[in-house]
Amino acid sequence: MEKVIFFDIDDTLINHTKAKHNALIAFAERYYKILKFDKTNFIKMWDIKSEKFIKEFFDNNISYQEHRRQILNSVLCKKLTNEKLDNLYNEFLHLYEINWTLFDDVLPTLKKLNKNYILGIDFKWFNNSTKEKIGIY
């Protein structure tokens, strides 16, 4: 009987927390003067609002896109058009993606485990971000 090990992606293989933090710092630096928001509380507020609106999404009260828009509207304390919110969130996503890094022990661990196990990835939903993280397109 073959043995299988499944790995989560975010904060198991990829350092999601660091990538998000670096992306938020870069986003805040880029936009705080233009959009006139409080840069000092930006990351803390983003995390609070993200938690709130992801629950709304998981409860099927809002779409994933609306979840993204609600985060930005709340954090920026502005009512922007959906198009502007989508563009800003896509900018954040780009900053997040360029900050993706594997944890230092991932490749040696996977290489060692691959000799005796079938390796898989577990994810809650299969979206474009997940596809990019695992290199499927």
- Fill in the DSSP letter of residue 118: E
Distance CA 96, CA 26 (A): 9
CA dist 2 to 5, 87, 109, 116, 137, Å? 10, 46, 18, 8, 28
Q: Name the pTM for this structure.
A: 0.83
Q: What confidence tier does 100 reach under pLDDT thresholds 50, 70, 90?
A: very high
Q: Average pLDDT for residues 67-82, to the nearest whole number?
A: 91
Least confident of 32-46, 51-65, 91-105: 32-46
Q: What is the mean pLDDT of residues 42-67?
A: 93
- The pLDDT assigned to 137 comes to 42
Helix, strand, or coil (residue 11): coil
Q: Which of the two residues, 20 and 77, has the higher pLDDT score?
A: 20
Q: What's the whole-number average pLDDT of the chain?
A: 88
Q: How far is CA 94 from the centre of its chain?
A: 10
Query: What's 7's DSSP letter?
Result: E
Per-residue pLDDT band at 97 (split at 50, 70, 90): very high
User: If we measure between CA atoms, which residue out of 25, 24, 35, 41 comes closest to residue 79?
Assistant: 35
Q: Indicate the helix (H) or strand (E) that contains 120.
A: strand 118-122
pLDDT above 60 (res 134): no
